[in-house]
Amino acid sequence: MEHAGRTLLSFASNDYLGLATEPVLKEAAKAAIDRYGVGSGASRLICGSLTPHGRLEEALAALKGTEAALTFSSGYATAVGTVSALAREGDVLVLDKLCHASLIDGAKLSGAAIRVFPHNHLGKLESHLKWARENYPEGRVIVVTEAVFSMDGNRAPLAEIVEIKKRFDALLLVDEAHAVGVLGRNGRGLADALRLGAEVDIQMGTLSKALGVSGGYIAGARKLIDLLINRARSFIYSTAPPPAVAAAAMAAVEWMQTAEGERRREQLWRNLAHLGEEMPQVFSGGRKIQSAIVPIILGETERALEAAERLSAQAIYVPAIRFPTVPKDAARLRITITANHTKEQITRLCEALRGIEVV
């Protein structure tokens, strides 16, 4: 990447499969611009719904094995609009402590009672659901979590969460933002990898990370999607995404399911395995690589900033993530690996990390 006139080797992007610069996507976007122009002209419900939007939603529903899907202009808009549309006063939202800001903002906007369980803590999840059922017997109760956590790179224990939410007759929303393209058959995500797709009532994802474009989506039952069309304010009151963006995203969804897509995913996992071999200390104590996100937790903000600066001096870019995105004492370097990195580049990163004594 280019930054302030310098070329840096980046380990910061969520473009895990390198799709953002893939020729097939560029061609799809160009063809859509030629056919439909640049802007969509209005919100989806006025006259902004163009053929690429509908095709993309069909492709996403097919990918996820659901009756329907709905796209939004960003992952953020998806979370805020969906969570606030599905829950209201008299309902309960039960969120993992590490849920993304967009899910938290949607919860706050909803007017529902909010309970937060410590990260991946099943016992607390269960006691919150018990509380919810006792105090809101008529309310809708929704468990909200991520498949792969964006700043920690670890996964949610989905099978256990599904079992618990069923016992309490709750719904489950899983944000697969960092799992789609990386996990599951044809990159369908974590729920698919565990064959739990049918158990996740509200399957959320973004088009902006491994899919290389921009936007977000919900996949689920037709009834759910119809409800969102009528109630999700970030969908209703916002101009439809540019048709070229929808067309490129559609090309990404299709490409991901080809043999080339599979090869690229395998390359990503080979790169991650190489990182693990080069930095075994980061993966000690049974810690495994669970996704394309590998944090090195350093503690104090200053330590993380200094480490990032020292890497930058060696022309390597790894962002220092700090409060309020992560807790005050858990500032970190957030490394992301993509399929486009070479083995040599990963080795160079690991040598630099050892050189500054953070691993």
Binding site for ligand PLP (CB under 6 A): 74-76, 79, 100, 102, 146, 150, 175, 177, 206, 208, 216
Q: How far is CA 276 from the centre of its chain?
A: 22
Q: How far is the CB of 315 from ligand PLP (least distance, A)?
A: 26
Question: Is 178 marked active-site?
Answer: yes
Give least dist CB 216 to ligand PLP, A: 5
Query: Least separation, in Å, of the C-beta of 227 and ligand PLP?
Result: 20
Active site residue 288: no
User: CB of residue 76 vs ligand PLP: minimum separation in angstroms?
Assistant: 4
Which uninterrupted H or E stretch holds 70? strand 68-72
Radius of gyration, CA atoms only, the chain: 20
Q: Which of 64, 128, 209, 274 is catalytic?
A: 209
Nearest Cα to 271, choosing from 295, 286, 290, 292? 292
Query: Nearest approach, Cβ of 100 to ligand PLP (angstroms)?
Result: 4
Comparison of 175 and 201: residue with beta carbon closer to ligand PLP: 175
| Backbone dihedral angles phi then psi of residue 174, each to the nearest 5 degrees | -120, 125
Distance CA 343, CA 233 (A): 45
User: Considering beta carbons, is residue 151 or 164 the nearer one to ligand PLP?
Assistant: 151
Task: Report how far residue 74's alpha carbon sits from residue 208's, in angstroms, rounded to the nearest whole number.
Answer: 8
In the bound state, the residue with its beta carbon closest to ligand PLP is 75
**Least distance (Å) from ligand PLP to the CB of residue 106?**
10
Among candidate residues 74, 110, 150, 234, the one labeled active-site is: 150
Return all residues near 356 (Cβ < 8 A) that are at least 6 apart: 307, 310, 311
C-beta of 146 vs 201, nearer to ligand PLP = 146
* Closest separation in Å from C-beta 332 to ligand PLP: 15
| 106 and 82 Cβ atoms separated by less than 8 Å | yes
Virtual CA dihedral for 318, 19, 268, 97, nearest 10 degrees?
A: 60
For residue 274, indicate whether it is catalytic. no
From the list 263, 256, 261, 267, the residue with the least C-alpha distance to 207 is: 256
Residue 118 Rama label (left phi>0; alpha psi -120 to 50; beta): beta
Q: Is 165 left (phi over 0), alpha (psi -120 to 50) or beta?
A: alpha
Nearer to ligand PLP, 146 or 192 (CB): 146
Structure tokens that stand for 145 in this block = 């979590």
List, in sequence order, every beta strand (DSSP E) within 245-338. 293-299, 316-317, 320-321, 331-336
- Of 100, 165, 178, 341, which is the active-site residue? 178
- Bridge-based pairing of strands 216-220 and 293-299 is unpaired
**Catalytic residue positions?**
150, 178, 209
